[in-house]
Amino acid sequence: MLEKLDQTEQKALAELAHLDDEESLLQWRAEYLGKKSTVTEAFTVMRELSKEERPLVGKRANEVRQALESAMEARREAVKQRELMKALETDKLDVTLPGRTPQVGHLHPVTQTMRLIYRIFGDMGFQVYRSREVETDDYNFTFLNMPAHHPARDMWDTFYTNQEGVILRTHTSPGQVHAMREYHPDPIRVILPGMCFRYEQVSYRSEMQFTQVEGLAVGEDITFGDLKGTLSDFARRLFQREVRTRFRASHFPFTEPSAEMDMECFICGGEGCPVCKYTGWLEILGSGVVHPNVLRFGGYDPEKFTGFAFGIGPERLTMLLHQIDDIRNFWRNDLRFLEQF
């Protein structure tokens, strides 16, 4: 028995040296210290041994058991340590690495143009006046000198809502009447920026949804000359150079006389191309002297007050500023396009 204990001890210790995980350590313990192990067997057979042999075997069995138990604890500790080192090695955390910078966006190119426009008119003494996108038929048409059923309403293809008399504004002009009703009888110098909606065929020149910046000046001695000077100066300040512009007689129900301002086409330089419909000019705004009926609807006496108004298309201006040839890019949400500005 003594010999068997010696052999078992040697074998067990030799095997233990190769174990490197908790599971095999437990198996090892079952084998060498469990019920069917040599050590347990030694304690069982002891009873049948002679008086002389019994203490020897008992002592030796205890020694072996203790040796194996402490060797196993030591091994277990070593395994744990090694696993920790391995984890430290593979899950290495380098606190000196620079952080990942979050992607920072920027203003949409049209918003940038809008802000340029605000700044220029701000310098000229105009305040920003905001009004609603969902409008009444009265503000969008009637108060702008287009009574119900007047054919001039057909100039704007309109999104109607299922609430009688409520529509999406087709232009920022209804804001003029809101501003007048708030300011009268004081003089006014405001710009009215915002989104407009038209039930229209989308093309490279026009979208269903677009922004406008309306302008309105009302006072006692305002003339068409003020309008021309203000808008020509606006174009110069915006493009920061002398730009070729022209005022072309036009018609809007809410102004009399009315004019559109064109800018030389940036694509063809005035030669004529598809973008300018072969005219060499691009329309950038509509304008005119405020119609007496509109002043009246706003609460001003047209005998005493006059005014001018205009409506700018910031998308068009952005196209001119950055030589963009398709207005649909603005709503496509394609970062490859937007990141360029």
CB nearer ligand DAH, residue 194 or residue 311: 311
Is residue 184 classed as helix, strand or coil in its secondary structure?
coil
Distance in Å, CB of 102 to ligand DAH, minimum: 39
CB of 272 to ligand DAH, least distance (A): 24
- 240-251 as b/e: b if 16+ CB within 10 A: eeeeebebeeee
Least Å distance, CB 171 to ligand DAH, is 3
Please say whether the beta carbons of 31 and 37 come within 8 A: yes
**Nearest one of 241, 207, 247, 221 to 330, comparing CA atoms:** 207
When the beta carbons of 187 and 272 are compared against ligand DAH, the nearer one is 187
Query: At 145, is the secondary structure helix, strand, or coil?
Result: coil
**Residue 152 or residue 338: which is nearer to ligand DAH going by CB?**
152
Instruction: Name which of 176 and 318 has its Cβ closer to ligand DAH.
Output: 176
Q: Are strands 188-197 and 127-128 parallel, antiparallel or unpaired?
A: parallel
- Closest distance of CB 309 from ligand DAH, Å: 3
Residues near ligand DAH (CB under 6 A) are: 171, 173, 214, 252, 255, 286-288, 309-311
* Pick 55 or 147: Cβ nearer ligand DAH: 147
How far is 222 from 175, CA to CA, in rounded Å?
Answer: 20
Nearer of residues 254 and 266 to ligand DAH, judged by Cβ: 254
Asked if residues 315 and 327 have their Cβ atoms less than 8 Å apart, the reply is yes
Tokens representing 99 are 């952080």
CB 278, min distance to ligand DAH, A: 22
Compute CA distances 67 → 126, 216, 263, 289, whole Å: 95, 100, 99, 108
The tokens describing 159, both together, are: 């999104």
Half-sphere exposure in the Cβ direction for 281 (13 Å, CA) = 13
Closest separation between CB of residue 109 and ligand DAH, Å? 21
Nearest approach, Cβ of residue 249 and ligand DAH (Å): 12
| Identity of the residue, 38 or 140, whose beta carbon is nearer to ligand DAH in the bound complex | 140
Distance (Å, whole) CA 312 – CA 121:
12
